Amino acid sequence: MKRSLNNRVIVIGAGLVGCGLAYHLSRLGRSVVVLEKRNAVSGATGRCGGMIMKIDGRDSDPAEIAKRWIYVAENDRMLDAFEAELGVDFGLWRRGSLDIATSDEEMDLLAQLVKMQREKLGDEEIQLLDASALRRLSPVISERCKGARYRPSDGCLDPFKLSHALLSKALEMGAEIRSWTPVEEILMRGGSVTGVRTSSGTVEGGTVVVAVNGWAADLLPQLPIVPLRALAVITEPAPPVPAFTFEAELHTKIVYGCTQTKRGNILVGGPPEQPASRDEQFNETVSLRELQFNTSVLTELLPGLGDLNIIRAWSGAMGMAPDGLPCVGKIDGCDGLYAAAGYPNGMSYTPVTARLLAELIVEGQSSIPLTTLDPNRFGSRTYDWPETYDYTVLAEYLDRSG
């Protein structure tokens, strides 16, 4: 292989991770080609809500939260610097986030979590709002809501604008993108990457990064990452709603990814109608019943916004590893092969992990160790995933399997 081609990094996937990798690798002097099976930002990045919640979910283990905090804190700093660095307004809006309780039991749990975060982690920002304080902050919220865990510095961004800004800067520095070029196989010789085979021929390169989120196991079957279908609807513009980014449980299902754009459009994300097979997780259509459920979030949790018109609906597949953290780093046993996939909460991890992985590829180490996110951390363990699943089914399965 020619020296120049051996120096080339092939990035598979043009979502926020792939675009970020192209940008940071180009800044570090590497030749980069991004291969995307459709258009840039057409996968998970283009189908998410752009929600920034530094600590999502309800993990009660302070040690596990601390492992994640080092990444999300640096990610937050990077987002604040990106507008000047990239010269683009990508809709970053820090209006706060809410983890809403709709029952007394949930409220008791949130009180315990806030106490733990403040005492064990020194998280002085996190707050617990009772029902009165919650409605003073956001009057559109339903009286059925008992309170919330509140973080003022969370918010949302426009994933399209940020991804395209990173990609544009990478192209200016000499990177290349090939759309409508699906990768069919990673090519290796003597334990080292030599390139990839695509639908239109071979692309040579000494380094390959699989950055396709929920599709990762198609190219790296050793990764225990499964696709997870999610839905979204978006409304016509509305006046600004304070602290709109939120997650909650409604009718035993998790409602997530709820944000408001700077234009005023309100996006509501949520689960599918019923569990589905792995292949069905990639279904990008939305049924009438699914549309009705997602729309009901507005009328039940946010009755003050119940008269808004829905203007669009869509679905897409995210990626999920057994511990809920992305897989980022070098793949054992093959020189030049890396992964950056399995992001269920992308906006809080993708910008920083793209930079750290670029550092690892070029310099041999990253400024923040990627040990916690090591794609080899599951070892040889195999997972007998449920035949059909959604987020709730996966969570129950993983709880049972430890």
In a domain, 178, yes or no: yes
In a domain, 316, yes or no: no
Measured from the Cβ of residue 65, the count of other Cβ atoms closer than 10 Å reads 20
329 neighbors 370 (Cβ within 8 angstroms): yes
Alpha-carbon torsion angle 72, 170, 216, 342, nearest 10: 10
Domain that holds residue 179: 3-46+160-224+322-389
| 93: DSSP letter | B
pTM value is 0.94
pLDDT at 4: 59
In a domain, 375, yes or no: yes
Mapping DSSP to helix (H, G, I), strand (E, B) and coil, where does residue 7 land? coil
pLDDT band at residue 205 using 50, 70 and 90 as cut-offs: very high
d(CA 347, CA 247): 15
246 vs 132, residue with greater confidence: 132
In a domain, 330, yes or no: yes
pLDDT at 257: 67
Cβ neighbours of residue 173 under 8 Å, at least 6 residues apart? 23, 26, 27
In a domain, 357, yes or no: yes
In a domain, 209, yes or no: yes
Which CATH number belongs to the domain containing residue 19 in this structure? 3.50.50.60
Count the domains in the chain.
Answer: 1
In a domain, 265, yes or no: no
pLDDT at 229: 95
In a domain, 399, yes or no: no
Per residue in 333-363, pLDDT tens? 999 999 999 998 889 999 999 999 999 999 9
Q: Is the confidence at residue 251, as pLDDT, over 80?
A: no
